[in-house]
Structure 1
Amino acid sequence: MLASVLPPDIIHLNHCCVGFEQQDNRIEIYFKNREAVLSDLLIGADGTNSVVRQTLISDSLPNYANRMSWRAVIQYNHDLLSPNASTLITAPDGKNFLLIDVGEGYTFWSAGALSADDFVHQSATNPKIRVLERFANWAEPVEAIVEATPVDAIVERPIYDLTPLDSWSKGKVTLLGDAAHAVVPSLGQGANMAFEDAYQLAECLKASPDNIETALHAYENSRIPRTKVIYERSAFEGNRSYQPDSEVTLREMVKPSQMKQDEFEAWLYDYKPSVNR
């Protein structure tokens, strides 16, 4: 859908960026086993392990959050799962299991567990075995839905985030999405922030079409304060959900009488990007 509104032949796949250099008015971008490309603007939207970020800022590598995640979406029904609802099961030993009805008979499940080891097995048979071992003897339908999930449908990932930055632009190079502000997935805002970034950046570039550096300055000034708050809240709530009292904590967090939570959710979900022209 997004590509359909772009000019033809403007998207070039199978390019691995390995670095760049800023010249007087242009940026020379280097790709593995390919010729360099000259550009007026470089946007590093290359994820948590961003090459653009490391070249631009040379800050620390992603921070391992001491937990592993397993996720899948399958066609699945169970008497204990209500339609149009989500179910969260927690344990005092640093584990939780989330099930969400995503419509048309499909269920999304996500398992999380504290783990000092961020090693991900390469064998396709290991993720399913690993989840079943970690969540053995759990309340139904945990084991049942994992058993019903094909091995190749399970995505196993260590959880990382990136330390927030006071600035993510230099010259005519900037960052967007996880490359700028990767967070742990406790608020479900990672992709949303990337969309917000893209919209805000486009507005800033339209407002200052003749001065890219001015546009990037406005872009990061408008986005950094908000993304820092989401980072801190994500880290805080993510850590709390793996503590021994997680069941009580999570129950309290969703009480509608908690004005602070309501105010935060209004700030989070009612956000409307704007540009001071």
Structure 2
Amino acid sequence: MKIPQIEKLSKPLIEKVAIIGAGLGGLAVAVALRKLGYDVQVYEKAQDFRPVGGGLGLMPNGLNCLNAIEPEIVKNIRNSGCEVNTSILKNTQGETIRTNPATRYQDKYGQPLVTIWWWHLQQVLVSQLPDDVIHLNHRCIDFKQDDSGVEIYFDAAQKVNADLLIGADGINSAIREVLIADGKPRYLGSMSWRAVIQSNQDILKPGELGFVRGNKEFMYLLNVADGYISWLYRRLSSDCELSQNVDLVKSRVLYQLADWGESLRSLVEATPAEQILEGPICDRLPLNFWSQGRVALLGDAAHPMAPALGQGANSAFEDAYELALCFSEASSIQEALANYEQRRIPRTQLIQTRSALGEMRYYETDNEAAARQMQEQSQMSSEEFQNWLLNYKPYE
């Protein structure tokens, strides 16, 4: 069954929508709500758009929802990223152990697996919005609401009014803190380092996605188009302290890769220190509600998850599509947000939980993995879960 397209309404439910955060989810829902006919304004704390972020994988569930929002987005994503046709398992010396075809995504779910630079994806979404819709250098610090609207406050004594406020401002969401006040994110015991660099090395061919498994450590290698490669290194660590400066970040990674092969170490060596992103892998426990009154959460602000299943961006695109759909069908804000929560929360609760478990599976020994698989035989199998995850159809 094809997902219904987002189309302009004869009469929108409300007029003004304010979105906090010009990340992937915030931009996607801005495009969707504008297509319905809403006056949408996006407020972003960054002072400019610059080449940031690592590589990520877009999966059929996310791509299908983006396609239902605006088909041109998916067309541009496929032009700006790399379609994966082969996954490769390597050892820490850079030697290929096994290759597997990845074409089953297109065959089975109607969309390919696409790897893309986060920044390029952000620019694809930005290109769908007029320049005067996005307001940079706006750090949201608070909001107040009543029956007639929401007043939103920024740190430079600026304020705006809206009929609806959407918090799409990430795992450390200011909107979530005011709305729910559930404290800091939960550290999952895994530290991350990642970067995107231009590379002419032969370590990864077009259409390939590489995975390197070490001892309580691993690395992903992603082609992200135009000669750029994204490397993502993670390591089990009880210490989540950040390095004091960018040079220490780079030397820390190289120290941890001391025994790895030259082809892999050289990727890190060739990366300018200031381009390496270091951070702890965190999530939050699932919530039972994402909205109050005229304020709702979306994406990582609503359901931050470990990256193990690659569903952070993809589930945010599901949110964007579903929220817009709810506002195209409901007769009140309350009905729209209640339907949004009902459609999204049970699904994302399961994805969050499986993602946290998946993060720890990266570090299992073979014996631990075998024992876990025995315990999970009575639960949804990995294949059943993947089918449920990637074959997402909102109306079924």
TM-score, scaled relative to structure 2: 0.62
For 1:4 and 1:99, the matched residues in 2 are separated by 27
Aligned to 2:287: 165
Structure 1: 5+ residue stretches without partners: 253-258
Code of the aligned partner of 2:199: Y
Aligned to 1:236: 357
Deviation at 1:16, TM superposition (A): 1.0
**Aligned pair count?**
265
Deviation at 1:140, TM superposition (A): 4.4
Report the CA distance shift for 1:42/1:79 in structure 2 as closer, same or farther (over 3 A): closer
Task: Report if the CA contact (8 A) 2:361-2:369 is conserved.
Answer: no
TM-score, scaled relative to structure 1: 0.87
In the TM superposition, what whole-angstrom CA distance separates every residue of 1:63-119 from its partner, at most 9, and x where no partner exists? 011221111222334455454222322233x21122233344332211101222222
Task: Report if the CA contact (8 A) 1:91-1:244 is conserved.
Answer: no
Residue 90, structure 1, aligned to residue 210, structure 2: no
Aligned to 2:263: 141
For 2:317 and 2:203, the matched residues in 1 are separated by 35
Alignment of 1:95-134 (within 5 A): 95-134=217-256
Aligned to 1:11: 134
Where 2:212 maps in the other structure, the secondary structure is strand
For 2:160 and 2:285, the matched residues in 1 are separated by 30
Identity %: 48
Residue 49, structure 1, aligned to residue 172, structure 2: yes
Residue 260, structure 1, aligned to residue 381, structure 2: yes
Deviation at 1:132, TM superposition (A): 0.5
Where 2:309 maps in the other structure, the secondary structure is coil
Report the CA distance shift for 1:20/1:205 in structure 2 as closer, same or farther (over 3 A): same
CA RMSD, Structure 1 to Structure 2 (Å): 2.3
For 1:149 and 1:3, the matched residues in 2 are separated by 27
Task: Report if the CA contact (8 A) 1:200-1:274 is conserved.
Answer: no
Report the CA distance shift for 1:14/1:274 in structure 2 as closer, same or farther (over 3 A): farther
Code of the aligned partner of 2:349: K
Residue 31 of structure 1, aligned match among 133, 136, 154: 154
Code of the aligned partner of 1:172: R
Task: Report if the CA contact (8 A) 1:69-1:156 is conserved.
Answer: yes
Deviates more, 1:11-20 or 1:80-89: 80-89
Relative CO higher for 1 or 2, CA cutoff 8 Å, sep ≥ 6? 2
